[in-house]
Amino acid sequence: MAKKQGKSRYLAGTSLAVMGAGFLLTIPLQDSLWGRLLQGGFEAGLVGGLADWFAVTALFRHPLGLPIPHTALLPKNRDKVTNSLIRMLEQEWLTKDSIQEKINQIQFTEKLLDMITREMQSEHIKNGLHSIIRESVQNAKIEKLAPFLEKELKSYLSSIDSAKPLKALTDGIRANQYDEALFDHILAETGKWAAKAETKQTLGKMGKQLIETTEADGLLKFAIQSFSQLVNEEKIGQMVQTFILNRIINVSKPDNKSRQMILQRIRTELEELHEREHLMNDINEWKNRLVNQLELEGQIHSILFQTKGRILDLVNQDDFIDTHVYPVIFRFIAGLKEDDSKMKAIESWIHKQVAGAIERNHSKIGTLVKENLDKLDTDTLIDMMENHIGKDLQWIRVNGAVCGFIIGIFLSLFKLII
């Protein structure tokens, strides 16, 4: 830039020197027609070049260092120029509406998702994400969760109405015929007990004692005493044992009426079990006492520590991010891109936030420009302006000299004709 500026200044100075030299050299040639025309041209070019040099120089400094009025315009009017520039930026070039219009043309959400997808592939993002997850799991204070989980678990268990699980249990028993299986099991175990020799003895003693202690009058008393003399404990035990075993065999048959009646009664009781209010109140009270007596904090604490260890082992795997984290993130991003309503909602939210930021900070554009300009002293600011627009200004001087030369020739020619 400085080199170009030097070339333009050199060209402007050369044009002025050419006009001055031409004016001097054509003074002896005033008697000829061409001499008068050239002298008029060089004279006007010299005046035009000097006038434009004065005008260009007067913008930035005093020409020849002389304090001529209305020169050094930019240094004297620095504040006006700065304020005008700020006002132009805020009110014409970078207005709130123009900025917002440009912002509304940008699809932030799609660009943001593409950027996330692209940056996720870099090793430093992957390593950073891995480190964050690992440290988060390691530093998690899981012991603080145990009391909370115990309280929530007890609260949940206490809120459960025992009627529902009890009905589910009885329905399952009936659906799978566990009631019949249990009845057969009881019959089988009873049969095993009744078939034992000691059971026969016990039944004989009980029967003999029952006969002897039975109170009766008249003929019935005589009959009982006679029967008691005819049988002993062994016979009575044999009779009762045989009766029980025969009844068990009969009831074990699927088509036995007594069996069907007993099973139907059991099933009816099971169906109505959850509807018995008194029974359900007792069960709920028992359940609540049992829940309140439970000490679960230690077990929960142990489970949480074991779970934390397993999670750490998983996180410490080298392929954890690629295998378990990235698939979840990329599926979420892909699903988000396919959901137009969500994309529009996010885009609308981002634009709203940007619009709010523009509204709140638009005035800071001028403040920022002013602060940066105020940091520069006047000489530095003038040099910067000359470096950026000086080339065009120097061409003004060249154009002034050339145009003056041409106009001077026409004026001289006009004077000769008139």
> Going residue by residue through the chain (418 aa), what tens digit of pLDDT does each one get?
444 444 556 666 677 677 777 777 777 777 777 777 777 777 777 677 677 666 666 666 666 666 766 666 566 666 776 777 667 666 666 676 777 777 777 888 888 888 888 888 888 888 898 999 999 988 888 878 888 888 888 888 888 888 888 888 888 888 888 888 998 899 899 989 988 989 888 888 887 777 767 666 666 666 666 666 667 778 878 888 888 889 889 988 988 898 899 888 888 888 887 777 888 888 888 888 888 888 888 888 888 888 889 998 998 998 888 888 889 988 998 898 888 898 889 888 888 888 888 777 767 677 767 666 666 666 666 666 666 555 666 666 666 667 777 777 777 777 777 7
Residue 102 near residue 108 (C-beta atoms within 8 A): no
Rounded to 5 degrees, φ, ψ at 161 are -80, 120
In the listed set 229, 252, 275, which residue is the last one of a domain according to the structure?
Answer: 252
Cβ-based neighbours of 96, under 8 Å, separated by 6 or more: 358, 359, 362
Domain span at residue 43?
2-60+389-417
Residue 202 lies in a domain: yes
Question: DSSP E strands: which ranges in 145-206?
Answer: none
The whole-number pLDDT of residue 1 equals 44
**Is 90 a member of any domain?**
no
At 3 the pLDDT is 44
Q: Is residue 42 part of a domain?
A: yes
Output the pLDDT for position 56.
Answer: 67
Give me the pLDDT at residue 4, please.
46
Q: What integer pLDDT is reported at residue 215 of this predicted model? A: 66
Could you tell me the pTM of the whole model?
Answer: 0.47
Distance from C-alpha of 26 to C-alpha of 39, rounded to nearest angstrom? 5
Of residues 52, 45, 89, 66, the one with CA closest to residue 395:
52
Domain boundary among 252, 284, 301: 252
Q: Which of 225, 252, 279 is the last residue of a domain?
A: 252
Q: Count other Cβ atoms within 10 Å, centred on residue 373.
A: 16
User: Which region holds residue 64: left if phi is over 0, alpha if psi is between -120 and 50, else beta?
Assistant: left
Structure token pair of residue 213: 């202690």
Residues 80 and 83: their CA atoms lie apart, in Å, by 5
**Number of folded domains in the chain?**
2
What is the reported pLDDT for 9?
A: 61
In single-letter form, the type of residue at position 229 comes to Q
C-alpha span between 367 and 361 (Å, rounded): 10
Q: Are 41 and 406 spatial neighbours (Cβ–Cβ below 8 Å)? A: yes
